């Protein structure tokens, strides 16, 4: 790969949990690739602006997007003209089962 700055699109605002994770990923990728990876927060329209920008970028591996499930809703609502299959997955950052909060009921009560 030629020396060039790579960028990761982040469809959510700066300072939130997804932004912090995207910046940590960019830091790790920069170390691994030996070249800078920059997070670009592109907000608005529920992520549609960011997805539209990245889907139109040259497919050279220098532009990636921080995937969120919002792409499925945007596509289903015809807010974008493509779906998640327009992108090639390159990594899974976190895959975790989250506990569901519940209220314990006393024995014998339903």
* Predicted pLDDT at 3: 57
Rounded CA-CA distance 85/79 in Å is: 16
Structural domain includes residue 107? no
Residue 18 — left, alpha, or beta (φ > 0 → left; ψ -120 to 50 → alpha)?
Answer: alpha
pTM above 0.75, yes or no: no
Domain that holds residue 30: 6-86
Residue pLDDT tens, the chain, 110 long: 455 666 767 777 888 888 888 888 889 989 998 989 889 898 999 899 999 999 999 888 888 887 778 899 999 999 999 999 999 888 776 656 666 665 565 666 55
Domain of 55: which CATH number?
3.40.190.150
Structural domain includes residue 22? yes
Structural domain includes residue 94? no
């Amino acid at each position: 790969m030629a020396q060039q700055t790579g960028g990761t699109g982040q469809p959510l605002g700066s300072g939130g949990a997804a932004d912090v994770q995207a910046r940590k990923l960019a830091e790790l990728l920069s170390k691994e690739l030996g070249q800078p990876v920059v997070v670009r927060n592109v907000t608005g329209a529920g992520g549609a602006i960011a997805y539209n920008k990245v889907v139109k970028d040259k497919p050279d591996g220098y532009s990636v997007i921080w995937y969120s499930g919002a792409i499925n809703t945007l596509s289903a609502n015809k807010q974008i003209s493509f779906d998640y299959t327009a992108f090639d997955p390159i990594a899974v950052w976190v895959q975790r089962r989250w506990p569901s909060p519940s209220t314990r009921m006393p024995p014998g009560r339903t």
